[in-house]
């Protein structure tokens, strides 16, 4: 594997740390305090308790949205060091208008009737990218999302999967949405668009 580089994410850049070993995966917001070739020191204002070597997914929420696998190395006060394990990869590969979000969700397998927590990474009127722990059985899934006091179950189809050691990113296409589900989706995208345009809307799951 090619050596990772943190040069793409400089000091002061916002970063979201997703703890992919837990279900649902908790998220911690922070900013880059120091960047080296294959490591990042991230300042987490709220603090956290990581296990040595714990796998995480680091997400740079700027456009184009990117992510890289990493492992916790050390901490001191509110500074947390992570060793990168790959290259930064775009999470916005689709050509349609996708918007970056960080929403806690639940993915239900229609075939296997399994349920697992996940994190919606980006979303559009046509589909979404969702990080989960394991690939669900079958292609038909339901994505349960809550935001600003509203919740909806969105039926979807798995078009592709990006798999890493502890993380699986599902690339979903929404199918046969009802008018109410379409309205909910527009609500989510409207909030994401407002954030992208620098307004004061906040996502809350």
Q: Could you report the average pLDDT of every consecutive run of 10 residues in the chain (205 residues)? A: 53 87 77 91 87 89 79 94 87 62 89 85 90 88 88 92 81 91 86 62 41
164: Cβ contacts below 8 Å, ≥ 6 apart: 69, 86
* Tens digit of each residue's pLDDT (9 = 90 or more) over 79-97: 999 999 888 877 654 445 7
Sketch the domain layout of the chain as residue ranges: 14-90, 99-196
pLDDT for res 165: 66
Q: Which CATH architecture has domain 14-90?
A: Beta Barrel (2.40)
Level-2 CATH architecture, domain 99-196: Beta Barrel (2.40)
**The pLDDT value given to residue 202:** 43
Q: For 38-105, what is the HEC assignment?
A: CEEEEECCCCCCCCCCCEEEEEECCCCCEEEEEEEEEEECCEEEEEECCCCEECCCCCCCCEEEEEEE
Give pTM, 2 decimals.
0.52
Residues 81, 74: Cα–Cα separation, whole Å: 5
pLDDT of residue 89: 79
Q: Which pLDDT score is estimated for 95?
A: 46
Tell me whether the CATH fold assigned to 14-90 matches the one assigned to 99-196.
yes
């Amino acid at each position: 594997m090619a050596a990772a580089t943190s040069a793409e994410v400089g000091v002061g850049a916002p970063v979201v740390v997703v703890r992919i070993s837990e279900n649902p995966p908790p998220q911690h917001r922070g900013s880059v305090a120091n960047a080296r070739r294959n490591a990042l020191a991230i300042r987490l204002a709220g603090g956290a308790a990581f296990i040595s070597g714990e796998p995480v997914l680091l997400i740079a929420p700027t456009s184009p949205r990117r992510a890289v696998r990493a492992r916790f190395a050390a901490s001191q006060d509110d500074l947390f060091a992570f060793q990168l394990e790959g290259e930064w990869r775009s999470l916005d590969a689709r050509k349609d208008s996708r918007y970056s979000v960080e929403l806690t969700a639940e993915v239900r397998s229609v075939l296997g009737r399994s349920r697992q927590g996940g994190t919606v990474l980006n979303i559009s009127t046509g589909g979404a990218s969702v990080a989960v722990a394991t690939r669900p059985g079958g292609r038909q899934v339901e994505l349960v999302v809550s935001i600003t006091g509203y919740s909806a179950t969105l039926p979807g189809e798995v078009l592709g999967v990006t798999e890493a050691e502890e993380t699986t990113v599902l690339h979903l296409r929404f199918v046969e949405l009802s008018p109410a589900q379409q309205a909910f989706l527009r609500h989510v995208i409207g909030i994401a668009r407002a954030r992208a345009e620098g307004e004061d809307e906040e996502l809350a799951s």
